[in-house]
Amino acid sequence: MSELSDLYQEVILDHNRKPRNFTKLDGANRQAEGFNPLCGDRCIVYAKVENGVVQEVSFQGSGCAISKASSSIMTTIVKGKTPDEAEHLFEIFHNMVTGKETASGEDLGKMKVFSGVAEFPSRVKCASLAWHTLKAALEGKGEPVCTEKDAT
């Protein structure tokens, strides 16, 4: 394993041990639930959207290190973004974890730690669950998200 992926693994383990924004959000006006039956990952994403901006976002749930770390990092990234910007970030993230070419110049930031997931197709759903759930929350869908029904 390269030094770079060791570093990435460190970040994922850190977020798994100490997930950020791992709480029920008081005053949330968006909420959705996600489930990845392939791995058993579950998450609930809470968001507070005001004045067209995601003011606060948090999550709860249980699952593998990748799903938990991805949820944790997702909450730190989308805070302060508009729902459109959040959706755009999801696209970038999704392209990256599925190994598609991302537009050059896109700033992946902390999401880059999941670039190695592209080599493990079975983990793509773990990494993208939180983002699918966020999207459902922002779109105000009442239906729980199941990665088996959605495209990865």
Query: Toward Zn ion, which CB reaches closer, 12 or 89?
Result: 12
CA distance 141 to 131: 14
DSSP-assigned letter for residue 100:
P
Q: How far is the CB of 107 from Zn ion (least distance, A)?
A: 26
On whether the CB atoms of residues 73 and 15 are closer than 8 A, the answer is yes
Query: Could you say whether residue 39 binds Zn ion (CB under 5 A)?
Result: yes
Return the residue of 15, 19, 21, 41 that touches Zn ion, per CB under 5 A. Answer: 41
**Rounded to whole angstroms, how far apart are CA atoms 90 and 93?**
5
Show contacts with Zn ion in window 121-150 (CB under 5 A).
Answer: 126
Binding flag, residue 97, Zn ion (CB under 5 A): no
Site for Zn ion in 46-85 (CB under 5 A): 64, 67
**Cα 117 from chain centroid (whole Å):** 13
Token representation of residue 149: 């029904």
* Contact flag: residue 92 with Zn ion (CB under 5 A): no
Beta partners for residue 41, in sequence order: 36
Where does this chain bind Zn ion (CB under 5 A)? 39, 41, 64, 67, 126
